[in-house]
Amino acid sequence: MKPVVIAAALAGLIGLGLFLAPMNRPPVNESSASRTEDPAKRQAKGAYLAQAGNCMGCHTAQDGRPYAGGHILATSIGTFITPNITPDPETGIGQWTEQDFWRALHDGKARDGSPLYPAFPYTDYTKVTREDADAIFAYLQSLPPVSQRNPPSRINFPFNLRPLLYVWRALYFEQGVYRPEAAKNDEWNRGAYLVQGLGHCNACHTARNPLGASQGNVLGGGQLMGSNWYAPSLTSLQEGSASDWPMDDIVQLLTTGLSSRAAATGPMADVVSQSLQYLTPDDARAMATYLKSLPGSAPHSRGTAPELTDEVDRQFRRGGEIYEKYCQDCHGSFGQGAPGVYPALAGNRGVTLASPINAIRSILNGGYAPVTESSPRPYGMPPFAQILPDEDIALVLSYIRNAWGNRGSLVTAVQVDRSRKGAQ
Ligand code: HEC
Ligand code: HEC
Ligand code: HEC
């Protein structure tokens, strides 16, 4: 496209954005919190809910003060640096009212009314009730104020033009608190409320278009923006669906990150250690009930096993040798792992996903199962980036994707190289 055409299109969109701005519904002006409730109780409830929403994960810089912001989020439209949400009046949200906070969480608006970027997952938090939002606010306001001014986000042109967000909102944002389904029981509805709302599972587990809007099947799997991770479909039996798991295994995976069927790694390990491990047993079961009920749809894209030619057979043998030398001590001679310590690779859907990017990363960068109260020092997987060349990583991966009854496409050295370069 010619620059003139782009400029004209942009001018049009911004015009449209400003036109759409007043059409946004004014925030609902009611606070349901009963003022008689004990403030300490409300703060404690808010602390719990803030954990369920993992607000701290995004609003705390590495080694920074909790909730003081400065955390860096790379996305396809630029780099966000999260704001300070401690009650400091100058640099945080100390001057905010309950109503301002409700508008941010429910309607994605800043205190001055300007639209916020959906890198803040208000598209999910909009499902949170007023009562819960008020409790989170009460908790945040009870924190020690931290005076910390964070650098502004660096968002690429033209996405740095905030009026464009009005267009985005008109196209993609549906505001509204979660409405319980009458046909389902309380436990299921609680699980749905947590998964769709505070848990913002959708933010990672649903594919996004280049503008960062969810598209395709809800929880149908998608690559994380700005990173080399794929969050598997939670509705496909080939990927991360738990519909045929016993309840206890799902609860165990959510709250410890390890079960006999899967291990949480990378960003999911963070979700477990920062958020899900703190769920009450009732809430963890509610979430599992909802996840188990999700329809097990057709696979997002199924990995295909290669045809067994002499060349492929030779590759598998070389991959098997590498496995024996570097991997077998932990993952076992039949890929069976060791319960609660090393994940099984046999029958592990994370290993055979159509897209091998997660498995490549695990081998390049290593990793730890989530740090939790029950497992404060989990066993780790060493990084192999400096030990094995791309070719060998491809061979061992092709091998584990096809050994012990696993089925998956071959991995190439080019894919490993791409992941090395794009790794974040
Ligand atoms: C995935 C990362 C992420 C998570 C999780 C997250 N936030 Fe944010 N938040 C952001 C980003 C990025 C912004 C800035 C958006 C912008 O600049 O438009 C933001 C902005 C905000 C703002 C507006 C602050 C201001 O100064 O305008 C508030 C309030 C807020 N978040 C509260 C929360 C709460 C409460 C939670 C948990 C329920 C939460 N956030 C969870 C990323 C996140
Ligand atoms: C920050 C992004 C992110 C968020 C938020 C997130 N996930 Fe994940 N999730 C991932 C990634 C990446 C993987 C793949 C790595 C792995 O298997 O651990 C994953 C894997 C999983 C798996 C394992 C599937 C399997 O069988 O191996 C389950 C189950 C899961 N997520 C459930 C959830 C639920 C429930 C929520 C919301 C409470 C959630 N996730 C929120 C990124 C995320
Ligand atoms: C010292 C023990 C150890 C060695 C050696 C080791 N691993 Fe691991 N591996 C682990 C642990 C622990 C995890 C779980 C880490 C995590 O959750 O991030 C893991 C995770 C993995 C995963 C991700 C599993 C999942 O569910 O997503 C893959 C794939 C993997 N290892 C393959 C290999 C291969 C291939 C080798 C040899 C090149 C190897 N490992 C060597 C301990 C080891």
pLDDT digits (tens, 9 = 90+) for 117-127: 999 999 999 99
- Contact assessment for residue 367 and residue 266, using Cβ atoms and an 8 Å cutoff: yes
**Residues annotated as binding site?**
55, 58-59, 201, 204-205, 327, 330-331
218: containing domain? 186-293
Nearest-CA residue for ligand 1 atom 24 is 83
Nearest-CA residue for ligand 3 atom 43 is 381
Q: List for the chain the helix, strand, coil content (%; round to 5).
A: 40, 10, 50
The number of domains in the chain is 3
Residue 188 CB–ligand 3 contact under 6 Å: no
Q: Are residues 50 and 105 in the same domain?
A: yes
Q: Are residues 270 and 356 in the same domain?
A: no
Residue bearing the bigger pLDDT, 127 or 13: 127
- The reported pTM is 0.92
Nearest-CA residue for ligand 2 atom 25 is 240
Three-class DSSP category at 16: helix
Q: Are residues 150 and 259 in the same domain?
A: no
How far from the centroid of its chain's Cα atoms is residue 168's Cα?
A: 21
Q: Which atom of ligand 1 is nearest to the CA of 57?
A: 5
Domain boundary among 259, 293, 327: 293
| Ligand number, closest to the Cα atom of 222 | 2
Domain boundary among 293, 326, 355: 293
Task: State the DSSP code for 340.
Answer: T
Beta bridge partners of 75: 78
Q: Are residues 47 and 141 in the same domain?
A: yes
Q: For the packed helices 39-52 and 130-141, what is the interaxial angle rounded to 10 degrees?
A: 100
Given a cut of 70, whether residue 301 has pLDDT beyond it is no
Residue 265 CB–ligand 2 contact under 6 Å: yes
User: Is residue 414 domain-resident?
Assistant: yes
| Ligand number, closest to the Cα atom of 343 | 3
What pLDDT does 251 receive? Answer: 97
Q: Which atom of ligand 1 is nearest to the CA of 203?
A: 1
Average pLDDT, the chain: 89
Nearest-CA residue for ligand 2 atom 13 is 231
pLDDT in tens, 313-328: 999 999 999 999 999 9
Residue 262 CB–ligand 3 contact under 6 Å: yes
The set of residues, in sequence order, having a beta carbon less than 8 Å from that of 399 and lying 6+ positions away, is: 315, 316, 319, 320, 322, 323
Which residue in this structure is represented by tokens 């780099």? 79
Q: 343 C-alpha to center of ligand 3: Å?
A: 7
**Residues annotated as binding site for heme c?**
55, 58-59, 201, 204-205, 327, 330-331
Given a cut of 90, whether residue 295 has pLDDT beyond it is no
Nearest-CA residue for ligand 3 atom 29 is 359
pLDDT band at 81 (very low <50, low <70, confident <90, very high): very high
What pLDDT does 148 receive? Answer: 98
Q: Are residues 42 and 144 in the same domain?
A: yes
User: Is residue 165 domain-resident?
Assistant: yes
Domain boundary among 172, 205, 239: 172
Q: Are residues 60 and 165 in the same domain?
A: yes
Q: Are residues 198 and 130 in the same domain?
A: no
